[in-house]
A and B are shown apart, each in its own frame.
Chain A
């Protein structure tokens, strides 16, 4: 990376000598045709991406016998599916459970992972690479293989059937550590070094400099973590029995009864579960872009 950076920066003085007007004319014309093409491409790709989801939302308004008819425009429209989802089962409670656990996991995970990643990327200590490799190796562990032992550990820690059982084991995941470490490796070091020279401790450097600078990546991670836990199914299923602890994905699954698959209810419930996540992402993606603009990274 270093050598490429040199190559590019070496060219810089040359470019700055060019007159302003020429630059404007060059950048002014080409994008116009390019932009139309890019916009068209973005529209088409977005449509492809959205179509199945749109189909889900539309199908949530269909009746049981038309939900599998494969038609985009429903022949009969009903809101009964949604009424049922909210009145017959405590779906609001499920939503709250998922929201609460996902939020706590996300906040704790962002804090812990950014701390660990900061240490792995910036601090010098013996065995640093080995610890990083060990942390990375935990990503390779396949979930179904460790489910039973994990259950045993959770039982010994008295985590079964509790919010703590839903939350604590879900916090620790090397993905976030790895991503943040890669990000911190790319951040310029000068600010931190200056702060250390000024006598700041490592915690203050982390809290006052590194954390604010990593807002964009933290926003992205927050969305990822929140979503992953919002959509969690297997661990909540195994660790809880109490109906009061039911999370939203388990709630969706409960609409499948023995001999009849009520796909219309499942799709309505899935739509209800997806909407807050969409809103979350829509707000956060702005945040991601805006914080990149203000963090002085560009």
Chain B
């Protein structure tokens, strides 16, 4: 199979003609529709019930002043107006922007690098893969706790090492200028193994013959990466960038809780944290729903643009 796989990929015209020659039968097209409906039904129903309806309810809630104790008062666009004039919300959006712009590229490069590394056939590779994936095994709350100890001002491992190397220790989590960087670094540490596995799966899909051929052509590793790996990995890369961005915007709450609780001086108050705080800390569910809906809207617009540009992440000729 392995030797014929690559040429076969481009051989669709032949099979296309074979398929056309087959008698259409009793509405083959409609059978395919029905099949698609049945295949999709469980997930579509589930997502509708447990994500769709709650989201619609949440959007509806954004037009109300909600007390958190069951009373709803219609305020129209009042919550959205408040959002527009809330400096803390915009500061949280700015922090989120910075967080995403730094975290996603760093995470992407690190996990792609790790993916390329653990694809190599080295003795003990299973162990390396396991160790690199290890951080993801631990829940974010415990991860936060661990790093809190390690980044401790006085006795933390990091400051001890810095002092041993002749530098002054720093208050990693207590300085507004450093805390966000710490959250990003910890997040990279947690997630790198996860995206490494996804990259690994994508890399394993690329037929080895391509590399052999390139090598025999005298191409170095960099050329091979640029002409084979990078283009063929595009669907995977697309997926990783998109997922890492979405996860950066909508996740990480547990970690921020434990590490900094949004501090110091709102330095790590990501939008998601501020939304959480308004909803569950202050009982402002309507306001939180407005900010949440706004955030979702922005992401919907961005991903619509991305999908338009990449033809739905297919990266092929669109069939």
Binding site for B on A (CB under 8 A): 1-2, 4-9, 11-12, 14-15, 18, 23, 26-27, 35, 38-39, 41-43, 45-47, 49-50, 52-53, 55-56, 59, 68-72, 112-113, 115-116, 118-120, 123-126, 128-129, 131-133, 135-150, 152-153, 157, 168-169, 171-172, 174-175, 177-179, 182-183, 185-186, 188-190, 193-194, 196-197, 201-203, 206, 216-217, 220, 223-224, 227, 231, 233, 249, 252-253, 263, 266-267, 270, 273-274, 277-278, 281-282, 285-286, 288-289, 292, 296-298
Q: How many A-B residue contacts, CB cutoff 8 Å?
A: 348
Known A-B contacts A135-B47, A149-B53; A182 and B141 likewise in contact (beta carbons under 8 Å): no
- Choice from A50, A70, A119, A289 contacting B39 with Cβ under 8 Å: A119
* Complex CA distance for A1 and B207, rounded to whole angstroms: 14
Apart from A70-B157, A145-B275: 12 A-B pairs, beta carbons within 8 A: A52-B135, A138-B51, A140-B246, A142-B272, A144-B253, A144-B276, A148-B279, A169-B50, A186-B235, A202-B32, A267-B146, A298-B204
Contact across chains for A149 and B57 when beta carbons are under 8 A apart: yes
**Closest B residue, CB atoms, query A216:** B201
Asked whether B250 is an interface residue with its Cβ less than 8 Å from the other chain, the reply is: yes
Known A-B contacts A144-B292, A296-B2; A185 and B10 likewise in contact (beta carbons under 8 Å): no
Contact across chains for A296 and B1 when beta carbons are under 8 A apart: yes
Which stretch of B73-81, B83-91, B170-178, B311-319 is in the interface? B311-319
Q: Is the interface of B mostly helix, strand, loop or mixed?
A: helix
**How far in angstroms is the closest Cβ of chain A from B206?**
8
Contact across chains for B217 and A11 when beta carbons are under 8 A apart: yes
**How far in angstroms is the closest Cβ of chain B from A134?**
8
Report chain A residues within 8 Å CB of B303: 136-137, 140
* Complex CA distance for A7 and B226, rounded to whole angstroms: 13
Contact across chains for A135 and B44 when beta carbons are under 8 A apart: yes
- Choice from B114, B138, B197 contacting A274 with Cβ under 8 Å: B138
Report chain B residues within 8 Å CB of A266: 142, 145
* Complex CA distance for A27 and B212, rounded to whole angstroms: 9
8 shortest interchain CB distances as A-B pairs: A145-B292, A70-B155, A172-B46, A149-B57, A149-B54, A119-B39, A146-B54, A46-B131
Contact across chains for B134 and A278 when beta carbons are under 8 A apart: yes
Contact across chains for A5 and B32 when beta carbons are under 8 A apart: no
Provide the B199-218 mask, 1 if CB < 8 A to any CB of A, else 0: 01100110111101111110
**How far in angstroms is the closest Cβ of chain B from A198?**
10
**Closest A residue, CB atoms, query B311:** A129
Asked whether B282 is an interface residue with its Cβ less than 8 Å from the other chain, the reply is: no
* Complex CA distance for A2 and B197, rounded to whole angstroms: 25
Interface size on B, residues (CB 8 A): 132
Provide the B286-319 mask, 1 if CB < 8 A to any CB of A, else 0: 0011001101100110011001000011111100
Of B147, B156, B296, most A-chain CB atoms within 10 Å: B296
7 interchain pairs, CB-CB under 8 A: A5-B9, A8-B210, A70-B152, A131-B44, A144-B275, A153-B50, A282-B130
**How far in angstroms is the closest Cβ of chain A from B159?**
8
Report chain B residues within 8 Å CB of A197: 18-19, 22
Contact across chains for B132 and A69 when beta carbons are under 8 A apart: no
Report chain A residues within 8 Å CB of B118: 42
- Choice from B49, B234, B280 contacting A153 with Cβ under 8 Å: B49
**How far in angstroms is the closest Cβ of chain B from A51?**
8
Report chain A residues within 8 Å CB of B272: 142, 144
Report chain B residues within 8 Å CB of A15: 212-213, 216-217
Contact across chains for A142 and B117 when beta carbons are under 8 A apart: no
Known A-B contacts A124-B32, A144-B253, A182-B239; A116 and B42 likewise in contact (beta carbons under 8 Å): yes
Contact across chains for A72 and B137 when beta carbons are under 8 A apart: no
